[in-house]
Amino acid sequence: MNDLHEMFEDAFTSLEAPFAFLDRTALDVNIDQILKRAGNKRIRVASKSVRSVPVLNHIFARSDQFQGIMSFAPEEALFLIEQGFDDILLGYPTVDEPAAQKLAETGKQVTFMVDHPAHGAMLERVGDRTGRIIRVCIDLDMSVKFPGVYFGVYRSPLKSGDAIRKLMNEIAPMRHLQVVGLMGYEAQIAGLGDRPDGTFDLKTAAIALLKKRSISIIRERRRKAVAALGEFTEVTLVNGGGTGSLESTRAEDDITEVTVGSGFYAPHLFDRYREFRHREAAGFALPVVRIPKKGMMTCMGGGYLASGSADALRLPKPWTPCNVQLVSEEGAGEVQTPVIIKGNSLGIGDNIYFRHAKAGELCERFNELHILDNFQYNGTKWKTYRGEGKCFL
Ligand SMILES: Cc1ncc(COP(=O)(O)O)c(C=O)c1O
């Protein structure tokens, strides 16, 4: 077997698989790399891609360039406030009025996302009932339509300065709202690998071209939208980006902060970018429980598929030993995951180590992350949201 496999097996002898782990040495390398990649911009941490309070605390303790959290749900934001976090930007609009009210009542700095007058009207009611001024951020859509290709995601309908003006004409008169800024998440740069299939082919070349064209369109769109919003209010927050776009997002003068989440754990979908490579920091171990025939082994558990388009990329990826691959007909199963092993085999009770396709979703499968330091495990475990008995979405 290879060295990495032996090092994991030696470190984790006291644990029974399945378990998830976080290599804190690699996490720290990733944190430092993210700080560099973000240049002089403040970094908001996308908690959906972390889903563990001790990990969030660890990230914030490393640098004060990390400021604020992008939360994915109001109940999560409430939980984070209870844990002592402040400056929370809800990355997505909510229609959960009771939770929005509870959040407003905390009196903490919470900023709600809107892209429709109905979002504004709901928050205005909350402001009216609580007597609080509600901070609001407008979500600018960053998708780009090329002939025959829609490059981006379907989220906000607002794509221009004029669309921002139109929305502001409706929500600016709402007495309890304070619009503080704009968010534009360029998913087609931040979340789309340069080599989605892991190969260099025509598709790769097309993606490179579309990404390049998108970046200049995005920059111009954001500049105009910030100017339009500035006609109504003082713009103090301009958020953009994600792990995959730090280089291009930070280059925009209007941007006051970038968002990062996935880059801390570096799941395998983030192996596919040209401009950076983070260290594999999070993984999980499955025990070999059966040997159906020579050259094959079957593990217990493993069907931790990532959300998104249901393709093979969403499957977990065998990490070590490196001579292991999934069986394409079966993929990763609910309770049984068979693998093909070429060359040296393992025995019953040995572990195979995998990586998830995405970052935070791994934490929805395990109660804790076992912490590895320089390939030593001393029993330290950090709770995930699930381990805290929390499930927000
Ligand atoms: C609105 C928004 N901003 C930023 C991000 C970036 O997160 P990550 O760094 O985990 O890719 C995401 C992730 O999907 C997002 O939805």
The answer as to whether 275 is a domain residue is no
d(CA 386, CA 367): 5
Domain co-membership, 305 together with 218: no
274 or 87, higher pLDDT = 87
Residue among 185, 258, 363 whose CB has most ligand 1 atoms within 8 A, to mutate: 185
Please provide residue 74's backbone torsions phi and psi, each rounded to the nearest 5 degrees.
-60, -35
36 or 206, higher pLDDT = 36
How far away, in angstroms, is 261 Cα from ligand 1 center?
7
Asked whether residue 176 carries a pLDDT value surpassing 80, the answer given is yes
What pLDDT shows up at residue 393?
A: 87
Q: Which atom of ligand 1 is nearest to the CA of 72?
A: 16
* Residue that is written with structure tokens 């025995």 in the block: 347
Share of the chain above pLDDT 70, in %: 98
Average pLDDT over residues 215-234: 98
End of a domain among 214, 239, 266?
A: 266
d(CA 360, CA 47): 8
* Residue that is written with structure tokens 């997002």 in the block: 249
Q: What is the mean pLDDT of the chain?
A: 96
Query: DSSP assignment, residue 306?
Result: P
Tell me the pLDDT tens digit for each residue of 304-337. Answer: 999 999 999 999 999 999 999 999 999 999 999 9
How far away, in angstroms, is 188 Cα from ligand 1 center?
11
Q: Which atom of ligand 1 is nearest to the CA of 183?
A: 1
The answer to pTM > 0.75 is yes
Domain co-membership, 103 together with 46: yes
**ω into residue 316 within 30 of 0, thus cis?**
no
Give the C-alpha distances (Å, rounded to integers) separating 55 from 216, 265, 363. Answer: 35, 10, 11
Tell me the pLDDT tens digit for each residue of 147-163. Answer: 999 999 999 999 999 99
Q: Which atom of ligand 1 is nearest to the CA of 263?
A: 9
Domain co-membership, 246 together with 149: yes
Q: Which atom of ligand 1 is nearest to the CA of 49?
A: 10
Name the pLDDT band for 345 (thresholds 50, 70, 90): confident
Asked whether residue 114 carries a pLDDT value surpassing 70, the answer given is yes
Residue located nearest, by CA, to atom 15 of ligand 1: 185
End of a domain among 243, 266, 289?
A: 266
Average pLDDT over residues 131-155: 97
Tell me the pLDDT tens digit for each residue of 47-85. Answer: 999 999 999 999 999 999 999 999 999 999 999 999 999
Nearest Cα neighbor of 4 from 292, 265, 369, 279 is 279
Residue located nearest, by CA, to atom 12 of ligand 1: 242
How far away, in angstroms, is 242 Cα from ligand 1 center?
5
Q: Which domain holds residue 123?
A: 24-266
Give one DSSP letter per residue of 230-242, joined into a string: HTTS---EEEE--
How many independent structural domains does the chain possess? 2
Asked whether residue 1 carries a pLDDT value surpassing 60, the answer given is no
343 or 171, higher pLDDT = 171
Asked whether residue 250 carries a pLDDT value surpassing 80, the answer given is yes
Domain co-membership, 137 together with 72: yes
Mean pLDDT lowest among 42-46, 109-113, 190-194, 266-270: 190-194
Domain co-membership, 219 together with 319: no
Domain co-membership, 259 together with 318: no
What pLDDT shows up at residue 199?
A: 64
Domain co-membership, 142 together with 236: yes
Give the C-alpha distances (Å, rounded to integers) separating 79 from 29, 34, 67, 88, 252. Answer: 28, 26, 18, 11, 33
d(CA 106, CA 100): 10
The answer as to whether 56 is a domain residue is yes
Structure tokens at 42: 């403040």
Share of the chain above pLDDT 90, in %: 94
Residue among 47, 66, 70, 222 whose CB has most ligand 1 atoms within 8 A, to mutate: 70
Please list every protein residue whose CB sits less than 6 Å from any atom of ligand 1: 46, 49, 70, 91, 185, 190-191, 242-243, 259-263, 359
Total Cβ atoms within 10 A of residue 49: 23
Asked whether residue 300 carries a pLDDT value surpassing 90, the answer given is yes
How far away, in angstroms, is 6 Cα from ligand 1 center?
34
Give the C-alpha distances (Å, rounded to integers) separating 338 from 20, 323, 362, 374, 380. Answer: 19, 14, 20, 30, 30
Give the angle 87-88-89 at the CA atoms, nearest 5°.
125
